[in-house]
Copies of this chain bind each other. A is one copy, B any other.
Amino acid sequence: MLRAAVDIADKGGIESLTMRRLAEVLGAEAMSLYYHVANKDEVLDGMVDVVAQEINEVVAGIDAAPAGGEWTKAMRARILAAREVLLRHPWAPWVFETRTTASPVVLRYYDAVVGLMRDAGFSYDLAHHALHALGSRVLGFTQELFDPGGEPSDAEAADMPEDIADQLPHLAGMLAEVGHDDPDSTLGFCDYQSEFEFGLDVILDGLDRLREGA
């Protein structure tokens, strides 16, 4: 049932996941679901468990590799592996954010993350701050809002009108330059993967410096 729910969301987006559709895919006749589950939120709870379980399985194979390496390497590999799982489930960030109770499977992931930092010499206090600083990045995603200086929106397209460009001189300048440097970004799209890694490295480096100073 959870597997079916994940499939629906993967294929048609999270908004296409309705109780009626889920029952249909399962062959059941609609409202039978409520015998097995209290409400739709419980389905969503189960779906984050599925994704978190997937992440835990993937990182289990990763952790062995950078055994002698620095902790930032291990953390980086772990987070990027988690990100790959997340990219297969584009609805997952939204569902993660809307959950109010902590899934035990997610807690297991966080426990391993704290363990990794502890092994690297972090105090519990600093590890706690570190989790907050990383935020959702520790699970491999960030919310992209409207993508500053990247979207091919009417206000930022290459043919940005003169009068609007005058009102936003710095964005116009930035777009012109960033757009020119990278042939793939002429349409204004950013490379989300490398931007994610950039931000991640800034934070990991900063945390490592704090670890050394402590």
Chain A residues at the B interface, C-beta cutoff of 8 Å? 96-97, 99-104, 106-108, 110-112, 114-115, 118, 124-125, 127-129, 131-136, 138-139, 142-149, 151, 153-156, 164, 167-171, 173-174, 177-178, 181, 190, 195-196, 198-199, 202-203, 205-207, 210
User: For the complex, what is the distance from the CA of A73 to the CA of B129, rounded to whole Å?
Assistant: 21
Query: Which label, helix, strand, loop or mixed, suits the secondary structure of the A interface?
Result: helix
Cα distance A112–B210 in the bound complex, in angstroms: 30
Contact A146 B106 (CB under 8 A): yes
In the complex, besides A125-B177, A128-B148, A133-B195, 4 extra interface pairs with C-beta distance below 8 angstroms are: A102-B147, A102-B153, A103-B146, A108-B167
Query: Whole-angstrom distance from the CB of A133 to the nearest CB of chain B?
Result: 4
- Minimal beta-carbon separation of A128 from chain B (angstroms): 5
Q: How distant is the Cα of A105 from the Cα of B104 in the complex, in angstroms?
A: 41
Asked if B170 contacts A111 (CB within 8 A), the reply is yes
Copies in the complex: 2
B178 contacts A124, C-beta separation under 8 Å: yes
Q: In the complex the two chains form, what is the Cα distance from A206 to B72 in whole Å?
A: 15
Question: A211: shortest Cβ distance to chain B, in Å?
Answer: 12
Q: Are B135 and A198 in contact (CB under 8 A)?
A: no
Chain B residue at smallest Cβ distance from A201:
B206
| B133 touching A198, Cβ below 8 Å | yes
**A115 — which chain B residues lie within 8 A by C-beta?**
169-170
Task: State how many angstroms separate the Cβ of A56 from the closest Cβ of chain B.
Answer: 12
- Among B112, B181, B205, which residue has its beta carbon within 8 angstroms of that of A125? B181
State the Cβ distance, A181 to closest chain B Cβ, in Å. Answer: 7
User: Bound complex: CA of A135 vs CA of B93, how far in Å?
Assistant: 15
Q: If A115-B170, A132-B148, A142-B135 touch, does A153 touch B101 (CB 8 Å cutoff)?
A: yes
Cβ contact within 8 Å between A177 and B129: no
Distance (Å) between the CB of A45 and the closest chain B CB? Answer: 11
Query: Chain B residues near A203 (CB, 8 Å)?
Result: 133, 199, 202-203, 206
- State in angstroms the CA–CA spacing of A178 and B114 once bound together: 13
Residues of the B chain whose Cβ atoms lie less than 8 Å from the Cβ of A110: 148-149, 171
